Amino acid sequence: MKLTVAFGAGIVVGVAAMLGGMALAGPETDPVKMSPEFYTVRIDNEWVRVLEYRLKPGQKEPMHSHPHGFVYMLGDAQARASLPDGSASMIDDHAGDLTWRGPTTHALENVGNTDLHAIGSS
């Protein structure tokens, strides 16, 4: 019985997080609209939107949201990701890294010495 309740609670929390992430990824937090200087739309059709992203050393972008999607790193990069709750984490990515991410809202700062250059879906 306890396992069933825990499993059910996990599903409820997971669905709420997914819907919350989808709500956050609305047009008002679209990264292309928030920071057009950092994003180039490469493909945008009814099935997928693919973005190219470049953030030079020392540059910061404001809080924005992404739906589920992939990120493919075109170079090595170090960044600080800040979340809406005020927490932050360091990112150390390498050329060729391919990551699948869930919906996310964050701000990024390039704290490395190289451009943060990536291709991703959004």
For the whole model, what pTM was predicted? 0.75
Res. 85: pLDDT tops 60:
yes
* CATH of residue 13: 2.60.120.10
Which H or E element spans position 62?
strand 60-66
Residue-wise pLDDT for 9-54, tens only, equals 444 334 334 434 444 445 678 999 999 999 999 999 999 999 999 9
Give the residue, 4 or 62, on which the prediction is more confident. Answer: 62
Res. 92: pLDDT tops 80:
yes
Residues 6+ apart with CB under 8 A from 93: 73, 76, 77, 78, 79, 116, 118
Which of 68, 66, 63 shows the shortest CA–CA distance to 102?
A: 68
Range of the domain at 67: 2-121
Backbone dihedral angles phi then psi of residue 108, each to the nearest 5 degrees: -125, 145
Centre a 10 Å sphere on the Cβ of residue 111 and count the other Cβ atoms it contains.
15
- Total structural domains within the chain: 1
Q: Are 109 and 60 in contact (CB under 8 A)?
A: yes
Q: How confident is the model at residue 116 (pLDDT cuts 50, 70, 90)?
A: very high
Predicted pLDDT of residue 81:
97
Q: Compute the distance between CA of residue 106 and CA of residue 82 in angstroms, rounded to an integer.
A: 5
Q: How confident is the model at residue 79 (pLDDT cuts 50, 70, 90)?
A: very high
Predicted pLDDT of residue 23:
41
Q: What would the mean pLDDT of 66-95 be, rounded to a whole number?
A: 97
